[in-house]
């Protein structure tokens, strides 16, 4: 939160013991240096709300110690690697909102077993919501707003999805997509929900009466 501009120097990769790098809310431009993926002790990488461009280097997703990757509010483009969670066993927060990322949401996100926050709103992702998301038993916030997701693929809302995970989910936002079909009554099994936003889609049928069982619901 300063007035820094220019680029992120690749020489930061020489700081081999670096655990936390926060440069959020500045005016840093150009690409994310792929050399940052060489920092094997990195726990938190926060480059949010700058003017970063280009694609996200795949090397960023190879740091086994990483707990938070925060890249929201930039001008990043391209696709996420299909192996995004293959080497992130400790990832707790993935913040990618308000960029121009496209392609599909990688199906292997369920491998990030400790993931608590997944925010990818206001990008250009297409396709469906990964079926494996209900396997994330630690997920608390899921924000997929303002994309091009299609079909009725709300994770965990169909009877066949229940009993897997997301039981401590508190915020569930899938607004402003192209989702269709019914809202299943079994969505009320997520008894910890405080926020549920499915507006701006093409759902049909009725609002399930079972939503009245969500005692913590505020919005």
C-alpha span between 66 and 202 (Å, rounded): 37
pLDDT for 60 equals 93
Global pTM?
0.92
Catalogue all structural domains in the chain, each as residue range(s) with its CATH number.
Answer: 1-127 (3.80.10.10), 129-140+151-219 (3.80.10.10)
Are β-strands 5-6 and 27-28 bridged in parallel, bridged antiparallel, or unpaired? Answer: parallel
| Residue 176 tokens, joined | 């402003």
Q: What is the pLDDT of residues 135-183, one digit of tens each?
A: 888 999 999 999 999 875 565 555 445 444 678 999 999 999 998 888 8
**Sign of torsion over alpha carbons 91, 156, 142, 212:** negative
Q: Which residues contact 71 (CB under 8 A, 6 or more apart)?
A: 32, 45, 47, 48, 52, 56, 95, 96, 99
State the burial class of residue 107 (Cβ atoms within 10 Å of its Cβ: 0-12, 13-18, 19+): middle
C-alpha span between 147 and 178 (Å, rounded): 8
Q: What is the pLDDT of residues 13-26, one digit of tens each?
A: 899 999 999 999 99
pLDDT for 216 equals 95
Chain centroid, CA 32 distance in Å: 18
Q: What is the pLDDT of residues 57-105, one digit of tens each?
A: 999 999 899 999 999 999 999 999 999 999 999 999 999 999 999 999 9
């Amino acid at each position: 939160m300063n007035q820094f501009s220019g680029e992120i120097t690749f020489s930061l990769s020489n700081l081999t013991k670096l655990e936390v790098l926060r440069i959020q809310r500045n005016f840093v431009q150009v690409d994310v240096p792929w050399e940052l993926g060489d920092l094997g002790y990195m726990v938190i990488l926060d480059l949010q709300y700058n003017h970063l461009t280009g694609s996200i280097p795949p090397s960023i997703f190879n740091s086994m110690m990483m707990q938070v990757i925060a890249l929201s509010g930039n001008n990043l483009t391209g696709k996420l690697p299909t192996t995004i969670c293959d080497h992130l066993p400790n990832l707790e927060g993935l913040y990618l909102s308000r960029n121009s990322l496209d392609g599909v949401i990688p199906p292997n996100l369920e491998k990030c077993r400790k993931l608590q926050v997944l925010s990818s709103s206001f990008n250009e992702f297409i396709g469906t919501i990964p079926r494996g998301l209900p396997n994330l038993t630690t997920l608390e916030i899921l924000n997929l707003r303002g994309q091009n997701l299609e079909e009725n693929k709300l994770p965990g809302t169909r009877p066949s999805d229940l009993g897997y995970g997301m039981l401590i989910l508190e915020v569930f936002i899938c607004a402003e997509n192209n989702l269709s079909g019914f809202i299943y009554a079994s969505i009320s099994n997520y008894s910890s929900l405080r926020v549920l936003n499915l507006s701006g889609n093409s759902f049909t049928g009725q609002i399930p009466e079972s939503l009245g069982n969500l005692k913590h619901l505020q919005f």
